[in-house]
Structure 1
Amino acid sequence: MDLSRPPRLPQLPRPPLPVFRGRLHDPRTATVIGRLLGAAILTAFVTGLISHYLQQPPGWAANLLPSRPSWGYRLTQGLHVASGIAAIPLLFAKLWTVYPRLFEWPPVRSVAHALERLSIGVLVGSVLLQLLTGLLNTLQWYPWPWNFRPAHWALAWVAMGALLVHIAVKAPQIAAHWQRPALDADGPDRRSFVAAVSAAVGAVTLTTVGQSFTPLKDFDLFAPRHPDHGPQGLPVNRTAAAAGITAERLTRWRLRVDGPRPYELTLDELRAMRQHSVMLPIACVEGWSKNAHWTGVRITDLLDRAGAPPGARLRVTSMQRHGAYAVMDMGTSYARDPLTLLALSLNGQTLALDHGFPARVIAPNRPGVLQTKWVERLEVL
């Protein structure tokens, strides 16, 4: 027995299978589309890492996360959602170029071939699930029993690992077809196909990216949010009613600041303090964002009044009693940034109840879920 060769599986009789005569189900077309798809997936993966660590930093990094540029999270999360949506038509185009291989015979030629097909199955399944559940997350529709965020995080690593395995296995074929051959009879047809796929990607991007790239908001036909729609011209994800904020609770509202010198403030006392105005975006994980004009008291002034040491972190507690972000921790880079406010007004008007009245946090380069609304307590850690 020759042990240098991998074992081969027994031959099976060939069933009647379809015959594919399309000229673009070939490695060159798959490579061309694969380059575009790979760029979209890589962009979504890198920006997803940024989003994850800004939302849930490890303890050692809590005071190291940067608060500048102030528009940083708006850019990265907008790219994350836009590249994820753009990847969907690219993925289906890629699958179209290679699906005839599902009907190859024999289906498995060797153990190595079986492992290759298994890795492709994991890749296709994980990427499809990642993109489609991510799209439903932008709609805030969760027709599944698991928690989206940790599942999305874990599945991203599965998909990226499967993609790296696939690239490694197919590296010789990818290299052979990366450049256009000098004599390519199918070149015009391939260019037409790629142009049609690019037009589809451009169409879905143009009609959704306006939710974060506001110069294109007039083309925002299919995104779940329009940046101008909502109280005071700003969208809302979680309303006061959904958070359990009632008029009775608001009548007893006080801001408590706990630290070496704890104190409480009424809303009138907060308004009597020195007010600062900033222009900052609110940028949500679902992909929408918009700049707004905020006015309120600097968080750093409230910390100084409580005797907080310079490197202290901050814990912010909302009046809402349920939800993953009813309590939020803020590192010193954010808490001491002069742009970080306990905001009392939005676009020149008192905060609407759905935007966090009587007071909410607004900070630069920060996910919207961490811009806590209906704040009732600040605690120096």
Structure 2
Amino acid sequence: MTPRIAPPPLPSFRGRLHDARTATSIGRWLGLAITVCFLTGVISHYLQHPPNWLVDVLPSRPSWGYRLTQGLHVASGIAAIPLLMAKLWAVYPRLFVSPPLRSVRHALERLSVAVLVAAGVFQLFSGLLNIVEWYPWPFAFVPVHFAVAWLLAGALLLHIVVKWLEIRSHWGRGSTGPRAPAAEDEPDRRSLLTGIAAGVGAVTLTTVGQSFTPLKEFDLLAPRHPDHGTQGLPVNRTAAAAGVTASSAGNWRLTVAGPRPYGLTLPELNALPQVEVRLPIACVEGWSVEARWTGVRIRDLLERAGAPPRSRVRVVSLERAGAYRVMEMGSTYAADSLTLLALRLNGQVLSLDHGFPARIIAPNRPGVLQTKWVGRLEVL
């Protein structure tokens, strides 16, 4: 008879470093990453979907503002993933204590932990899938991601309040809490934290180059490289995906609707005074790159149409469908001297994938609002 082989014991996860000191040390880094990610995410959301009262208040300068905030948003979100995994490893034994509820305070603590873990895992991994443009869920990503971000922020705040006394007692080098770690654990704890820091550093170094171009040579894991794409820039939405063809763009005529409406063919638009600006294009997926754009100032086109001062403008694309086929631009952007109806990129006529015959380029704006294949401008 073949002897039965006993299955290996399940891991107990009750080693010496599953303590409050280790959890607090990791939690400081994780809390900082989530805070940066949350604040920059709120900025991104309101730049993409501003309420009516905010449309004309949003600043167009600094021109690189969105590039910075969205780069930080994606970088801090990616860095938070290994930190969250390490944090869960450190607190794993305490997630299944018995009895599960011992008091009102303990119930609040358990509730905050449950919501915090669920919201944290959802936010970080759905955000990671968003930057690779994979959406294996039936709901709209943007509103759900924004709503859960506030849920995560509230759960984190509640957790800090409930656990503050324990956090404070384990914050510094010399823990004073009732479960103060043994001195002999410190070398192992330092090794663990060093390994976590190295992992976070490696993940950040190999992805942040998609927005921080001095590190683009290390951009090994990011879904975009700032130099790869048509005319040296990445392309998120191609002309084929938007339903725009060379023939549909070939019969193009720009319509400018306002008190004095008019239309322009491409040769007529090229005959107008041309302006060249250096502006970054920064996408919500985290990549960004600066380029030279040449075209006609939006404010000059609106002025010719008799637009009153501080007018907004609605931009309509030739694309057949899409969440951003129609875009509205506040008066601050419309009046900025850097905001162009661009016709050329880095000295070359726009390719079809980059928005030929004309596209919007404006400072401090998300890439999804830099409308391509512009067919109509409407003074609001």
Name the TM-score, length of structure 2 as normaliser: 0.94
Partner of 1:215: 214
Secondary structure, counterpart of 2:129 in structure 1:
helix
Equivalent positions of 1:261-276 (< 5 A) are: 261-276=260-275
Provide the C-alpha distance between the structure 1 equivalents of 2:14 and 2:209, rounded to a whole number of angstroms: 41
- Structure 1 residues 104 and 229 mapped into 2: Cα distance closer, same or farther (>3 Å)? same
The answer to whether structure 1 residue 373 and structure 2 residue 366 are counterparts is no
2:17 aligns to what? Answer: 24
Q: How far apart in 1 are the matches of 2:339 and 2:107?
A: 55
Give 1:28-47 correspondences, 5 Å limit.
28-47=21-40
CA distance in 1, matches of 2:135, 2:96: 34
Q: Which residue of 2 aligns with 1:237?
A: 236
> For residue 330 of structure 1, what is the amino acid of its counterpart?
M
Shift of 1:119: 2.0
Q: Which residue of 1 aligns with 2:320?
A: 321
Deviation at 1:157, TM superposition (A): 0.5
Residues 217-366 of structure 1 correspond to what in structure 2 (within 5 A)? 217-366=216-365
Amino acid in structure 2 at the alignment position of 1:44: C
Partner Cα distance (2:104, 2:157) in 1: 20
Distance 1:194 1:113 in 2: 28
Cα 1:29–1:348 shift into 2, 3 Å? same
Q: Secondary structure at the match of 1:186?
A: helix
CA shift, 1:187, in A, is 1.5
Kept in 1: contact 2:108–2:162 (CA 8 A): no
Q: Is the Cα–Cα contact under 8 Å of residues 314 and 377 in structure 2 kept in the other structure?
A: yes
CA distance in 2, matches of 1:19, 1:361: 57
- Find out whether 1:60 has 2:60 as its counterpart: no
Q: Residues 280-313 of structure 1: CA distance to partner in whole angstroms, max 9, x if unpaired?
A: 0010000000000000001111011111111110
**Separation in structure 1 between the aligned mates of residue 140 and residue 345 of structure 2, nearest angstrom:** 32
SS in 1 for 2:153: helix
Query: Which 10-residue stretch deviates more, 310-319 or 184-193?
Result: 184-193
- Which amino acid in 2 is paired with 1:56? H
1:175 aligns with 2:165: no
What's the % identity of the aligned pairs? 71
Matched, 1:129 2:122: yes
Q: Which runs of 5+ in 1 are unaligned?
A: 1-15
Gaps of 5+ in 2: 1-8, 176-181
- Comparing 173-182 and 69-78, the one that deviates more: 173-182
When residues 354 and 20 of structure 1 are mapped into structure 2, their CA distance, relative to the original with a 3 A threshold, is closer
Deviation of 1:111 after TM superposition, in Å, equals 4.4
Q: Which residue of 1 aligns with 2:187?
A: 188
SS at match of 2:353: helix
- Matched residue type, 1:201: V
Cα distance, 1:88–1:18 mapped onto 2, change above 3 Å: closer
The structural deviation recorded for 1:18 is: 7.3
Which amino acid counterpart does residue 310 of structure 1 have in structure 2? P
What CA distance in whole angstroms lies between the structure 2 residues aligned with 1:18 and 1:117?
23
Find the counterpart in structure 2 of residue 10 from structure 1. Answer: none
Partner of 1:84: 77
**Aligned equivalents of 2:226, 2:15: Cα separation in 1:** 44
1:188: how far off? 1.2
3-state SS of paired residue (1:301): helix
Write out per-residue CA displacement over residues 33-83 of structure 1, whole angstroms, 9 at most, x where no aligned residue.
Answer: 000000000000000011011111110111111000000000000000000
Query: Does structure 2 conserve the Cα–Cα contact (< 8 Å) formed by 1:17 and 1:103?
Result: no
**Which whole-Å CA distance do the structure 2 matches of 1:214 and 1:21 have between them?**
43
Alpha-carbon offset, residue 87 of structure 1? 0.2
Residues 126 and 155 of structure 1 are in contact (CA less than 8 Å); yes or no, is this contact kept in structure 2?
A: yes
Which residue, 96, 109, 122 being the options, matches 2:89? 96
8 Å CA contact 1:18, 1:103 repeated in 2: no
> What is the deviation of 1:22?
1.2
CA RMSD of aligned residues (A): 1.5
SS state at 2:227 partner = coil
Looking at structure 1, the residues matched to 343 and 324 of structure 2 have their Cα atoms a distance apart, in angstroms, of 20
Cα deviations across residues 173-231 of structure 1 (Å, max 9, x unaligned)?
A: 00101111178332211111110000000000000001000111110001000001110
Deviation at 1:21, TM superposition (A): 4.3
Please state if 1:148 is matched with 2:141. Answer: yes
Give 1:73's aligned residue. Answer: 66
Deviations 1:78-106 (Å, cap 9, x if unpaired)? 00000000000000111111001134222
The count of aligned residue pairs is 366
Measured in 2, the distance between the counterparts of 1:128 and 1:368 equals 27
Say yes or no: does 1:158 pair with 2:157. no
| Contact persistence 2:109–2:163 (CA under 8 A) | no
Tell me the secondary structure at the aligned position of residue 134 of structure 2.
Answer: coil
Matches of 2:189 and 2:246 in 1, distance apart?
A: 63
Please report how far the alpha carbon of residue 17 of structure 1 lies from its aligned counterpart in structure 2 after TM superposition: 10
What amino acid is the match of 2:226? P
